[in-house]
Amino acid sequence: MLQKNDIVKVTVKDITLDGKGVCKVSDGDPVIFVPCSAIGDVLEVKILKVLKHFAFGKIEKVINPSDDRCENTCSIFEKCGGCVFRHISYDCESKLKERIVSDAINKIAKVNYVPVNSILSASDVYRYRNKAIFPIRKIKGKVKFGFFALNSHRIVPCGDCVLHPKEFFDILASIVSWIEKMDVSVYDEKTHIGLIRNVYIRKGFATDEIMVCVVINGKKLPHASDLVTKLKRSVANIKSVLINFNTKKTNVVLGDICETIFGQDYIEDELCGLKFRISPKSFYQINHEQTEVLYDIVRKFANVSQDQTVLDLYCGIGTIGLTLAGSCEKLVGVEMIPDAIANAKVNARLNGVTNAKFVCADAADFIKEIEKVDMIVLDPPRKGCAKDVLTTIANRGIEKIVYVSCNPATLARDVKILYDKGYELKKVQPVDMFPRTGHVEVVVLISRVES
């Protein structure tokens, strides 16, 4: 029997989407998950925890490294809870993500068999993120910014992170220096005392416009004009500086109210030849290059015609729908965040789109009410669609669905629900929006089987 603190020799046979190698001491033994290992690694592993059906271990020694391995150059890899694949080549990571999507769709959902298209990998795996939230805390008396360690509230300080634009770290350095110079307090989660909680930064990659939002545990930010001066000096193109008030004891980053202390309360970016206004609370895809790839697939799968009404459910600021508006008769977008719907309405105007309507509502409620829909785009959050949404789609007999998902497991569940209600899977296209991390995006085309 495997026991805690045992040292065992294993060969890694598989790897999970969260970057853990899968191995066994011998057949019949429990599976051991080992972070940062690669398929083919021969390892000496120390067992950290044994559960009924599986165990967790950590690498003591790499006896024989896998060919998949590559050099990791990040000093906080394994600590920060961000990347999980910095130790294997991007090519191996892409193939793994493709296989995970294929397994979810064809083995877990168990619907009509469909070959999965080759994953559309990113050409750039560095500094692709256009958004980040950095907690600010005091560590040993010094003000630090960083990331939360995996499943923890412990901060891993970072000077830089190769997934984010360099300017983000110039901005953070100037905020830390302002905090120290003005002796502004920083938040302590244990006591719920201290002012500066988080810094939230967003950048439009096509426009270079930057938004900085300082989240505070209080009602007023002292020396705000001094901060604005410092920020404007730290990087060019700061278009918006905001304070967000969050005095609750919560893990949710943003409170309800924002105050603009410099510039506009939004930034703009461009995608697929269109202009988009983005408010701090609105969702916006984090990888600009790959979003254009993703939306292009959606457009091809949707293949809409001039006599059709398109419903963009979970529409955010209207990005997907507006890229289709020119090809359809009517577009209706639905989203529950009011700021995002306000953005979507402006975005229609900015792009001269006159056949679109955007509604702030819960997806499940709205879909029951809309009159005519020929095709529907679903792009729900990680938890997937509410069952009610899928049932209504089926009851109404909507012909065609393009489902965009950032979670293969909930996608597989929802595809199965639709399959059982008379729909067939037609196409599956994985897109890597999140290189080096344990996330993958998928677009599927589903259509109603003729009765």
By annotation, the residues acting in catalysis are 406
At closest approach, how far in Å is the CB of 276 from ligand SAH? 9
The enclosing H or E element of 257 equals strand 257-263
Residue at 443: amino acid letter: V
State yes or no: residue 362 binds ligand SAH (CB under 6 A).
yes
State yes or no: residue 10 binds ligand SAH (CB under 6 A).
no
- Among 221, 253, 337, 350, the residue binding ligand SAH under the rule CB under 6 A is 337
State yes or no: residue 319 binds ligand SAH (CB under 6 A).
yes
Rounded Cα distance, 6 and 305, in Å: 63
Q: With CB under 6 A, what is the number of residues at the site for ligand SAH?
A: 18
- Among 39, 83, 119, 320, the residue binding ligand SAH under the rule CB under 6 A is 320
Q: Which of 85, 72, 75 is nearest to 156 (CA)?
A: 75
Alpha helices (H) in 288-337, listed in sequence order = 288-302, 319-324
At closest approach, how far in Å is the CB of 406 from ligand SAH? 8
Give the chain's length. Answer: 451
Rounded Cα distance, 152 and 52, in Å: 24
Q: What residues numbered 238-297 form the site for ligand SAH, per CB under 6 A?
A: 283-285
State yes or no: residue 206 binds ligand SAH (CB under 6 A).
no
The site string for ligand SAH over 367-386 (x = CB under 6 A, - otherwise) reads ------------xxx-----
Question: Which residues are CB-neighbours of 251 under 8 A, at least 6 positions away?
Answer: none
Determine the interface stretch with ligand SAH among 129-137, 308-316, 391-399, 431-439 (rule: CB under 6 A): 308-316
Q: Where are the beta strands (DSSP E) in 314-387?
A: 330-335, 356-360, 375-378
CB 401 within 8 A of CB 378: yes
State yes or no: residue 59 binds ligand SAH (CB under 6 A).
no
Give me the helix-helix angle, 408-420 and 387-396, nearest 10°: 40
Determine the interface stretch with ligand SAH among 17-25, 136-144, 163-171, 315-323 (rule: CB under 6 A): 315-323
At closest approach, how far in Å is the CB of 167 from ligand SAH? 23
User: Across-strand partners of 54?
Assistant: 31
Determine the interface stretch with ligand SAH among 8-16, 173-181, 336-344, 349-357 (rule: CB under 6 A): 336-344
Rounded Cα distance, 58 and 48, in Å: 7
Rounded Cα distance, 206 and 224, in Å: 29
At closest approach, how far in Å is the CB of 318 from ligand SAH? 8
Q: What residues numbered 71-90 form the site for ligand SAH, per CB under 6 A?
A: none
Comparing CB distances to ligand SAH, the nearer of 340 and 412 is 340
At closest approach, how far in Å is the CB of 280 from ligand SAH? 13
Location of structure tokens 């597989």? 412
At closest approach, how far in Å is the CB of 129 from ligand SAH? 15
Classified as helix, coil or strand, 160 is coil
Classify the C-alpha dihedral 313-338-388-395 as positive or negative. Answer: negative
Comparing CB distances to ligand SAH, the nearer of 143 and 320 is 320
State yes or no: residue 314 binds ligand SAH (CB under 6 A).
yes
State yes or no: residue 338 binds ligand SAH (CB under 6 A).
no
At closest approach, how far in Å is the CB of 319 from ligand SAH? 5
CB 244 within 8 A of CB 267: no
Instruction: Give contact residues for ligand SAH (rule: CB under 6 A).
Output: 283-285, 314-316, 319-320, 334-337, 340, 362-363, 379-381
